């Protein structure tokens, strides 16, 4: 199964939890702004990856290209299925390859124990996107291997049959468009309720407000589910889609793998996922004999200052192991993979190197008038949102409370939009007052 979890790594790239029991295998804390990568680029290195599906296919091509450019080198990719858990265990033992994706279990303030600093924030953010999540005290410890944009993956052919040929600009326009799609016989929107993880995408729409301070403001707000605020805007649209019967009839039987050919062939018309899913749905279209060009990416239906905005972010960050015995070759490989391998292009991802062009799907996306924004992480209130999530037991970045939202919207749970949002505000506000006091 190739989904968001297999692209480069599912979930936030910022570390959320401390690694327990790992300090025994860690190196000493670094003192310089850049690791010691001196020496000749030769010899063997091991690269840990969660892309087990590519180890014996595409990655072999990358290895051959790198070894041809740097004679005397040997690169071995080691696929790790249960990546975060297994590599966290390897960190504790000290043997965790030469180049690796940073597990989400490692707290940001521990990066210096396990990974070599690649340079300063000022230096690297001028060359690369998505460096912020791997930056601590002015040093960058990892580079993203590619990025994605947030938005709805749509079957443009079905929307066109419904008379909609351009992205709706407001939630009401979007709902009206879905109602028109319903008349074609297609399922207008597919929630993926049962697999659940796609519901987390509804939390990734903050860029639509075009407010660079939104991630600091959000935890400072005691009642984010009020009209005009982002939680109300996003979750309110999901509620209305389901409440107006514009989604699948029985969300308890949804299936992620099955949803891809459904969207690819026009049996359903839209899913909120992001640009990472476009090539997967296009491949499903090819397999079904449908036209992959039917599949596109549309922005969230909301404009600020007369313009659409969409968040872009990087996925897992790749780093050089502090315990590597061949840091010169490890650093050379990381630089080459990010800049010259073509991996991001092959995955239709946003290249981390600012100088490189967007992939075709993203060029079409920006062609709809979307401004792509890399929303800064919280600074003043760094970590506060996660504390409120834990205290309130509202899994803002997950799916449980949104499953209840869908159940409420379809009449399978008591209440309505106003009562459910009032409950969320009450719980969030109580937790927020404790965390922010």
184 with 328, same domain: the answer is: no
The pLDDT, as a whole number, for residue 334 is 98
Measured between alpha carbons, how far is 345 from 353 in angstroms, rounded to an integer? 11
The pLDDT, as a whole number, for residue 107 is 85
Confidence (pTM): 0.82
Between strands 307-314 and 370-373, the pairing is parallel
136 with 151, same domain: the answer is: no
292 with 187, same domain: the answer is: yes
Of 110, 109, 139, the closest CA to residue 124 belongs to: 139
8 with 45, same domain: the answer is: yes
Of 326, 351, 376, the domain-final residue:
351
CB-based contacts of 408, cutoff 8 Å, min separation 6? 239, 414, 415, 416, 417, 420
23 with 66, same domain: the answer is: yes
435 with 324, same domain: the answer is: no
Of 351, 377, 404, the domain-final residue:
351
Q: What distances in angstroms separate CA 206 from CA 144, 232, 308, 437, one per listed residue?
A: 21, 11, 12, 25
pLDDT (tens place) for every residue of the chain, 437 residues total: 334 444 443 333 333 333 444 444 555 555 578 999 999 999 999 999 999 989 999 999 999 999 999 999 999 999 998 899 999 999 999 999 999 999 988 988 899 999 999 999 999 999 999 998 899 999 999 999 999 999 999 999 999 999 999 999 999 999 999 999 999 999 999 999 999 989 999 999 999 999 999 999 999 999 999 999 999 999 999 999 999 999 999 999 999 999 999 999 999 999 999 998 998 999 999 999 999 999 999 999 999 999 999 999 998 899 999 999 999 999 999 999 999 999 998 888 999 999 999 988 899 999 999 999 999 888 899 889 999 999 999 999 888 999 999 999 999 999 999 999 999 999 999 999 999 98
Count of the separate structural domains present in the chain = 2
The pLDDT, as a whole number, for residue 5 is 41
Measured between alpha carbons, how far is 271 from 201 in angstroms, rounded to an integer? 10
Buried b (16+ CB within 10 A) or exposed e, 293-324: ebbbbbbbbbbeeeebbbbbbbbbbbbbbbbb
198 with 54, same domain: the answer is: no
Structure tokens at 52: 């087990």
The pLDDT, as a whole number, for residue 12 is 33
For residue 196, count other CB atoms closer than 10 A to its CB: 16
231 contacts 287 by C-beta, under 8 angstroms:
no
382 with 323, same domain: the answer is: no
CATH number where 225 lies: 3.40.190.10
Of 351, 377, 408, the domain-final residue:
351
35 with 116, same domain: the answer is: yes
Measured between alpha carbons, how far is 243 from 415 in angstroms, rounded to an integer? 12
Note down the domain range covering 218. 147-314+360-437
Measured between alpha carbons, how far is 278 from 361 in angstroms, rounded to an integer? 7
184 with 306, same domain: the answer is: yes
332 with 421, same domain: the answer is: no
245 with 300, same domain: the answer is: yes
């Amino acid at each position: 199964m190739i989904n968001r979890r297999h692209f480069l790594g599912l979930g936030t790239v910022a570390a959320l939890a401390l690694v327990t029991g790992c300090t025994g295998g860690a190196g000493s804390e670094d003192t310089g702004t850049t690791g010691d990568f001196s020496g000749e680029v030769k010899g063997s290195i091991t690269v840990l990856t969660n892309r087990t599906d590519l180890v014996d296919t595409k990655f072999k091509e990358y290895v051959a290209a790198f070894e041809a450019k740097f004679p005397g080198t040997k690169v071995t990719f080691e696929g790790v299925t249960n990546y975060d858990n297994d590599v966290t265990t390897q960190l504790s033992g000290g043997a965790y390859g030469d180049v690796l994706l940073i597990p989400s279990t490692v707290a940001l303030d521990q990066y210096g124990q396990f990974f070599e600093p690649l340079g300063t924030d000022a230096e690297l953010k001028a060359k690369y996107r998505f460096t912020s999540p791997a930056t601590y005290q002015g040093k960058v410890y990892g580079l993203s291997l590619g990025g994605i944009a947030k938005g709805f993956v749509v079957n443009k052919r079905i929307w066109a049959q419904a008379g909609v040929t351009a992205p709706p600009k407001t939630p009401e326009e979007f709902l009206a468009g879905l109602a028109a799609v319903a008349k074609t016989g297609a399922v207008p929107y597919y929630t993926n309720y049962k697999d659940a993880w796609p519901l987390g995408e509804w939390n990734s729409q903050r860029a639509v407000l075009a407010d660079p301070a939104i991630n600091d403001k959000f935890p400072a707000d005691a009642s984010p589910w009020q009209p005009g605020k982002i939680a109300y805007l996003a979750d309110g649209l999901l509620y209305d889609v389901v409440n107006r019967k514009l989604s699948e009839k029985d969300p308890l039987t949804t299936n992620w793998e099955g949803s891809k050919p459904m969207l690819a062939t026009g049996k359903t018309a839209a899913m909120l996922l992001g640009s990472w899913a476009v090539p997967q749905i296009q491949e499903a279209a090819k397999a079904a004999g449908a036209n992959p060009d039917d599949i596109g990416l549309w922005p969230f239906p909301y404009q600020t200052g007369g313009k659409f905005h969409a968040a872009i972010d990087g996925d897992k960050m790749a780093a050089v192991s502090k315990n590597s015995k061949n840091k010169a070759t490890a650093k050379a490989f990381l630089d080459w993979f990010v800049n010259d391998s073509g991996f991001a292009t092959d995955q239709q991802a946003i290249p981390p190197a600012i100088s490189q062009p967007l992939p075709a799907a993203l060029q079409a996306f920006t062609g709809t008038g979307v401004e792509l924004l890399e929303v800064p992480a919280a600074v003043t209130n760094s970590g506060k949102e996660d504390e409120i999530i834990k205290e309130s037991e509202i899994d803002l970045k997950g799916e449980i409370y949104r499953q209840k939202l869908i159940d409420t919207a379809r009449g399978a749970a008591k209440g309505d939009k106003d009562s459910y949002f009032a409950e969320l505000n009450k719980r969030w506000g109580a937790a927020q007052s404790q965390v922010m006091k």
